[in-house]
Structure 1
Amino acid sequence: MSYRYRRREELSLPSVAFTLFLSVAVPLAMILTLGQQLGQVLQVYGVLTSLSWLALYFFKRDWLEFKSVSLLTAVVNIAVMLLSGSFAAQLAAQKSPFVIVPLTLSSVVPIVEVNFVTITLAFMVGWAEEMLYGGVLYGTLQKTGIWGKLITAAVFAFMHIKAYTSVSPFDPAFLHDPRAYLLLAPFITRFVQCYLIDYEKGIVGVALGHGLGDALLMIRAG
């Protein structure tokens, strides 16, 4: 093993502790504390977050390092999330007589009450989604270039369909459902997030931005 390879794979103790805390310790604590209140889907998310962290630790360890550009990617990510959410909501509103607001946690919990617990959950879901979709899925597809970004974005948007609309995507009526426009938000956001991961050469800043962005959207929706 070359010296250069070992240097690239080094991971600082603070980065290990920080990402391990958010990816394993916090989800486990919430599962043990809240139990059935979380719901089965959120409990599964907690487990998947831990498994995603382990996968990254063994196969893309340097992605878990907090880098000098991590704060920048976090801020850009938050801005992209807010802008894409507003853009999608405006498009949906133009096609619907009702006010449509994409609420965070919607990929796993359709309707939530905005309070401290759900804001915390919003952050954790954002972090978890980044570990899973940005870390594991895009990490696997990264070498395919733009196709990997498009596939990752499409999968991420697909996972929000059930929460955003009750119409099946295989139903012709889906194309006429105003709520379908909301799917542009996760698609655009995930597509840009893939580029941010490339720029950061890691996932910590993007994951922080995703979690904070979800929390801010939750607060704004409340």
Structure 2
Amino acid sequence: MAEHETDDIPLAGRVREKLVERKQDWAREGRLLTGTTADPSRQRLPPGQTLVRDWPVLDLGVQPDVAREKFRLRVEGLVENPLRLDWEGFLALPQEEQVCDIHCVTQWSRYDNRFAGVKARALLALARPKPEARFVVLHGYDGYTTNLPLGEFDAPDAMLAHSWEGRPLTRQHGGPVRVVVPRLYFWKSAKWVTRIELRAEDQPGFWEVRGYHNHGDPWLEERYG
């Protein structure tokens, strides 16, 4: 374990303000909404989604370049045992693989993604959430945040992934480590994760305060709030 360091993580690019404004407009206009819902046990593709074979790269325009020797992960807030992990400490945790679908709010879905990493509930078991902990805020090295109920982060398929399709995650897709929460729209799966904060009260993140839905269930088409 090591102390957290962020000051020397280089950031490439800058926030694309016009992109952010356009997506805020989409939220106000309800763009892409079909007004339908679906049962995930009966319908694999959520309403309004289009299946793709590639993996589109979407970000705010800023990509941190996190060398593995600089990587730090904190799990803190309302936990009995705050965690401070470097790369070696992260890899020393139980490693698992899973295959899952991912669904982006911008209307694309991709089936059968093979991720490898550490299950979120394994981290939580080590950190031991306090009884009053009910929400999680994910923080990325790029300054991005997103929120979700603790129960969604503690789901069996929630993961902190370092590999995709047998290869290390690229920087473009959130490497060295990103969150994967398959049951929610993928903006909830923060890239370049460095801090996991457990809270008693909800705290909407970057897109949530800009008109996106606070929960983000693709089968209920919770694109916007």
Task: Give the structure-1-normalised TM-score.
Answer: 0.22
Which has a greater percent of strand? Answer: 2
Instruction: Give the number of the structure with larger relative contact order, counting CA–CA contacts within 8 Å between residues 6 or more apart.
Output: 1
Which has a greater percent of helix? Answer: 1
Task: Give the structure-2-normalised TM-score.
Answer: 0.22
